[in-house]
């Protein structure tokens, strides 16, 4: 089955005189088992609207359009977008948009949609951030991403990092499975992971203030939070210590040991003066 996918992908690109672009991170998924895992994780329903980013030749697209009400596929490569439109011209539930997902500002989305994508590695973080911070965030995100990035996003204390905080503030990330680099063509240098982000909600506190505090806390990860926040927030140490005491937080802790609930507590009780 994998050999058939490789052959079909190569034939499609050859006919259209297209070569996979390293600059666009074009590594096409050719593993049927991995494809099934993505689809199963997305828990697709006939009423679903799915946004797919970087569909390429449509290997994942063809599985999505059979199962949902509508697929909006956004492809930056204009030649690839034309291939997709031509190859799936008979499907009325597919809308192909030739554009850079990171540059689209007025993307009209309903309240109930899912993001399902085999993401180019280089846009993983900005894409996740774009949708989690969107005025209408997705109900669910199922993404193929670089293995190490998925692990960082799903980190827990004592290995927390700013990327993990920025995702876990909005939703619940989970690694569904690891996918070998041999599951792609052309083969990338690193392995991947299927990342699921569920329970996505709009924050009830100021996201700007939350991240201002978190960024200050992670400014020098090996230093104690007291020192980082004193410098980063331009507050005197006594005020920081009083703030920590109010939230029953050990002032000697480092940012990597903090849970999301700790950052939320600090945000709720923050006083600039």
More confident residue, 23 or 199: 199
CB 190 within 8 A of CB 147: yes
pLDDT over 70 (residue 1): no
Q: How far, in whole angstroms, is CA 129 from its chain's centroid?
A: 7
Task: Report the distance separating Cα 89 and Cα 112, nearest Å.
Answer: 25
Task: Report the distance separating Cα 139 and Cα 19, nearest Å.
Answer: 34
The pLDDT-based confidence of 87 (bands split at 50, 70, 90) is: confident
Q: How far, in whole angstroms, is CA 130 from its chain's centroid?
A: 9
Task: Report the distance separating Cα 262 and Cα 158, nearest Å.
Answer: 13
Q: What does the pLDDT read at residue 144? A: 98
The pLDDT-based confidence of 27 (bands split at 50, 70, 90) is: confident
Mean pLDDT estimate for the chain: 91
The pLDDT-based confidence of 4 (bands split at 50, 70, 90) is: low
Stated pTM of the model: 0.92
Summarised one tens digit per residue, pLDDT across range 211-266 is 999 999 999 988 999 999 999 999 999 999 999 999 999 989 999 999 999 999 99
Query: Would you state the CATH architecture of domain 207-268?
Result: Orthogonal Bundle (1.10)
Task: Report the distance separating Cα 144 and Cα 147, nearest Å.
Answer: 9
Task: Report the distance separating Cα 55 and Cα 80, nearest Å.
Answer: 9
Number of Cβ within 10 Å of residue 4's Cβ equals 10
Q: Which residues contact 32 (CB under 8 A, 6 or more apart)?
A: 1, 2, 5
Task: Report the distance separating Cα 60 and Cα 75, nearest Å.
Answer: 13
More confident residue, 20 or 247: 247
Q: What does the pLDDT read at residue 7? A: 59
Task: Report the distance separating Cα 88 and Cα 67, nearest Å.
Answer: 15
3-state secondary structure of 126: helix
Q: Which residues contact 159 (CB under 8 A, 6 or more apart)?
A: 256
The pLDDT-based confidence of 106 (bands split at 50, 70, 90) is: confident
Q: Which residues contact 162 (CB under 8 A, 6 or more apart)?
A: 214, 215, 218
Q: At what angle do helices 207-217 and 260-268 cross, to 10 degrees?
A: 120
The single residue listed with the structure tokens 């494809």 is 35
Q: What does the pLDDT read at residue 273? A: 47
Phi, then psi, of 81 in degrees rounded to 5: -65, -40
Exposed, middle or buried: residue 179 (CB in 10 Å: 0-12, 13-18, 19+)? Answer: buried
Task: Report the distance separating Cα 147 and Cα 210, nearest Å.
Answer: 27
Task: Report the distance separating Cα 59 and Cα 269, nearest Å.
Answer: 49
Summarised one tens digit per residue, pLDDT across range 40-80 is 999 999 999 999 999 988 999 999 999 999 999 999 999 88
Lowest mean pLDDT among 6-10, 18-22, 71-75, 193-197: 6-10
Percentage of the chain beyond pLDDT 70 is 90
Phi, then psi, of 183 in degrees rounded to 5: -85, 5
Summarised one tens digit per residue, pLDDT across range 183-200 is 998 889 999 999 999 999
How do the domains of the chain map onto residue ranges? 2-198, 207-268
Class of the CATH-defined domain 2-198: alpha beta
Q: What does the pLDDT read at residue 6? A: 46
C-alpha angle 144-57-26 in degrees, rounded to nearest 5:
50
CA atoms within 13 A on the CB side of 178: 8
Q: What does the pLDDT read at residue 63? A: 96
């Amino acid at each position: 089955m994998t050999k058939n996918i490789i052959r079909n992908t190569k034939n499609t690109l050859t006919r259209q005189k297209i070569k996979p672009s390293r600059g666009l991170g074009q590594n096409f998924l050719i593993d049927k088992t991995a494809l099934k895992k993505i689809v199963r994780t997305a828990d697709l329903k006939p009423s679903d609207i799915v946004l797919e980013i970087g569909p390429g030749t449509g290997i994942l697209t063809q599985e999505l359009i059979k199962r949902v009400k509508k697929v909006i596929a956004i492809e930056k490569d204009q030649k690839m977008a034309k291939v997709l439109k031509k190859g799936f011209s008979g499907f009325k539930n597919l809308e192909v948009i030739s554009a850079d997902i990171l540059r689209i500002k007025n993307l009209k989305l309903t309240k109930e949609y899912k993001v399902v994508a085999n993401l180019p590695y280089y846009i993983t973080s900005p894409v996740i951030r774009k949708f989690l911070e969107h005025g209408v965030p997705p109900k669910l995100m199922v993404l193929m991403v670089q293995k190490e990035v998925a692990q960082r996003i799903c980190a827990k204390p004592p290995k927390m990092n700013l990327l993990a905080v920025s995702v876990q503030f909005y939703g619940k990330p989970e690694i569904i499975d690891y996918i070998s680099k041999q599951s792609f063509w052309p083969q990338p240098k690193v392995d991947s992971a299927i990342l699921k982000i569920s329970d996505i909600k709009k924050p009830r506190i100021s996201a700007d203030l939350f991240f201002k505090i978190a960024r200050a806390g992670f400014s020098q990860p090996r230093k104690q939070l007291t020192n980082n926040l004193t410098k980063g927030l331009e507050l005197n140490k006594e005020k920081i210590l009083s703030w920590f005491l109010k939230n029953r937080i050990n002032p000697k802790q480092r940012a990597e040991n903090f849970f999301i609930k700790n950052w939320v507590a600090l945000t709720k009780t923050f006083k600039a003066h």
